[in-house]
């Protein structure tokens, strides 16, 4: 509102100055009196009001236009200016986003590389006394992590060289600045032409007010020639500016799309390679776990190569012979703890779980032993247990 009041005050002052001029025709204002306003003053006020309230365009100018072609040229330049400005801002946003992603990704590479080194170090030291399974897994993980961080580094490098740098170069490049300068020069020349058109109108009014004045006629001719030159130059400059802005807009659209596609392709390649590395690592670790679960870590007797357990009749005969000879006490029973699981393959064998306790009554020369576990008697591989001389009473209760 303050700006409108200032403009109204300025217009009133212009009208007051023009009241001092003579004019053909008077305008009655009620009963307050009469005053004269020159036709030139009316034209000036009209142009000023149109310029103030007739709407704006790029560069703050959408005033008197000379013809329809020039108006279309001006509107086209205005659209191109808005489009290239939005494209420039979008390119700048992409550059900022990619640069932030690179900074964050570099920190992730640093952390991942440290984790890789720690895993490799643990696997190389191999301080565990019960096996090297975890050491192997740590080495595999460290190697895979190093490969993944290398791929991440390649991605960040590609984003920097293929996306951020080309877009930054275009944002700061000369073609866009040159085209914008041409458009601004055209806008200034258009404003100058509008001002000259007002000047021509003023001089035409003076010639009409004072016909036959050669000095006024000469000045009018000079003003019209200047206006014609301005229009011609403005038309040429407008075409040059529109062509330059259109070329920049086309380049913006094409280059930005290409860089977006390059960014998507780089990320897709990175994720595909990381997925491949993770798949190979998972396969290695699962294979090692299955090997551990399928077979004990310590050397154990091979059941497939062991002879079948002796028949109970044979064993009973041995027991009878030993009892007859009075040697049963000499053989003696002992307690053993199962250290490797065993699944019975016949009715005369025992199924053993790690941690079970077995009362061993007989050990044969072919690697089998006979005993009792959890109230059931049968045969089992002797190598699957370890002798225990001292056992808690609660453990003894589990045997019978």
Question: Following DSSP, what letter does each residue of 308-362 receive, concatenated?
Answer: PPPPHHHHHHHHHHHHHTT-HHHH--EEEEE-S-B---STTB--B-TT-EEEEEE
Residues 252 and 87 sit within 8 Å (Cβ to Cβ):
yes
Residue 270 has pLDDT above 90, yes or no: yes
The C-alpha atoms of residue 194 and residue 192 are separated, in whole angstroms, by 5
Angle (CA) 156 256 184, round 5°: 130
Q: What is the pLDDT of residue 267?
A: 96
Residue 227 has pLDDT above 70, yes or no: yes
Output the average pLDDT for the chain: 77
- Taken as a whole, the chain contains a residue count of 400
What percentage of the chain carries pLDDT values higher than 90? Answer: 26
Q: Which two tokens stand for residue 38?
A: 């020159």
* Each residue's pLDDT tens digit, 145-203: 999 999 999 999 999 999 999 999 998 887 878 888 888 888 888 888 888 888 888 88
Q: Which two tokens stand for residue 273?
A: 């390679």
- Residues 376-386: what's their mean pLDDT? 88
Residue 214 has pLDDT above 80, yes or no: yes
Residue 26 has pLDDT above 50, yes or no: no
Residue 65 Cα distances to 46, 47, 370, angstroms: 14, 12, 115
Residue 118 vs residue 25, higher pLDDT:
118
Strand partners, 381: 368
What percentage of the chain carries pLDDT values higher than 70? Answer: 71
Residues 386 and 337 sit within 8 Å (Cβ to Cβ):
yes
Q: What is the pLDDT of residue 77?
A: 87
The C-alpha atoms of residue 288 and residue 292 are separated, in whole angstroms, by 6
Give the HSE-up count for residue 167: Cα atoms under 13 Å, Cβ half-sphere: 27
Residue 265 has pLDDT above 70, yes or no: yes
Q: What is the pLDDT of residue 145?
A: 95
Residue 140 has pLDDT above 50, yes or no: yes
Residue 36 has pLDDT above 90, yes or no: no
DSSP state of 160: I
Residue 56 has pLDDT above 50, yes or no: no
- Residues 335-350: what's their mean pLDDT? 87
Residue 309 has pLDDT above 90, yes or no: no
Q: Could you tell me the pLDDT band of residue 396, with boundaries at 50, 70 and 90?
A: low
Q: Could you tell me the pLDDT band of residue 215, with boundaries at 50, 70 and 90?
A: confident
Residue 8 has pLDDT above 80, yes or no: no
Residues 162 and 263 sit within 8 Å (Cβ to Cβ):
yes
Q: Could you tell me the pLDDT band of residue 233, with boundaries at 50, 70 and 90?
A: confident
Residue 342 has pLDDT above 50, yes or no: yes
* Each residue's pLDDT tens digit, 274-307: 999 999 999 888 888 887 777 544 444 444 445 5
Question: Model-level pTM?
Answer: 0.53
Residue 374 has pLDDT above 50, yes or no: yes
Residue 397 has pLDDT above 90, yes or no: no
Among 152-161, 218-227, 303-312, 343-352, which is the least confidently predicted range?
303-312
Residue 318 has pLDDT above 50, yes or no: no
Q: Could you tell me the pLDDT band of residue 17, with boundaries at 50, 70 and 90?
A: low
Residue 218 vs residue 157, higher pLDDT:
157
- Residues 57-83: what's their mean pLDDT? 70
Q: What is the pLDDT of residue 165?
A: 94
Residue 100 vs residue 377, higher pLDDT:
100
Angle (CA) 265 87 62, round 5°: 165
């Amino acid at each position: 509102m303050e700006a409108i009041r200032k403009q109204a005050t300025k217009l009133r002052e212009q009208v007051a100055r023009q009241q001092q001029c003579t004019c053909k025709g008077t305008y009655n204002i009620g009963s307050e009196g009469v005053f004269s306003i020159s036709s030139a003053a009316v034209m000036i006020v009209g142009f000023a009001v149109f310029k103030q309230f007739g709407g704006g365009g790029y560069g703050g100018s959408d005033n008197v236009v000379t013809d329809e072609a020039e108006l279309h040229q001006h509107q086209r330049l205005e659209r191109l200016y808005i489009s290239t400005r939005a494209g420039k801002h979008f390119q700048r946003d992409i550059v900022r986003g990619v640069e932030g992603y690179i900074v964050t990704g570099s920190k992730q590479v640093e952390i991942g590389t440290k984790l890789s080194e720690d895993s490799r170090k643990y696997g190389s030291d191999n301080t565990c006394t019960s096996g090297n399974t975890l050491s192997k897994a740590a080495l595999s993980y460290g190697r895979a992590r190093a490969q993944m961080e290398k791929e991440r580094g390649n991605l960040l490098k590609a984003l920097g060289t293929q996306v951020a740098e080309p877009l930054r170069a275009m944002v700061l490049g000369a073609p866009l600045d040159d085209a914008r300068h041409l458009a601004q020069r055209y806008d200034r020349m258009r404003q100058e032409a509008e001002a000259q058109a007002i000047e021509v109108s003023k001089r035409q009014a003076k010639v009409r007010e004072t016909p036959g004045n050669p000095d006024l006629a000469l000045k009018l001719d000079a003003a019209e020639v200047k206006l014609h030159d301005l229009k011609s130059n403005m038309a040429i400059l407008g075409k040059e500016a529109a062509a330059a802005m259109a070329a920049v807009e086309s380049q913006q659209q094409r280059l930005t799309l290409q860089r977006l596609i390059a960014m998507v392709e780089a990320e897709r390649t990175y994720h595909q390679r990381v997925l491949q590395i993770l798949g190979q690592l998972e396969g290695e670790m699962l294979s090692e776990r299955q090997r551990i679960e399928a077979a004990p870590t310590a050397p154990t007797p091979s059941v497939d190569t062991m002879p079948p357990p002796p028949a109970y009749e044979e064993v009973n005969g041995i027991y009878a012979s030993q009892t007859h000879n009075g040697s049963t006490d000499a053989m003696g029973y002992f307690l053993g703890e199962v250290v490797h699981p065993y699944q019975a393959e016949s009715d005369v064998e025992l199924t053993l779980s790690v941690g079970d306790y077995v009362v061993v009554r007989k050990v044969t020369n072919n690697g089998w032993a006979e005993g009792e576990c959890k109230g059931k008697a049968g045969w089992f591989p002797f190598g699957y247990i370890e002798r225990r001389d001292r056992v808690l009473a609660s453990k003894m209760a589990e045997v019978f």
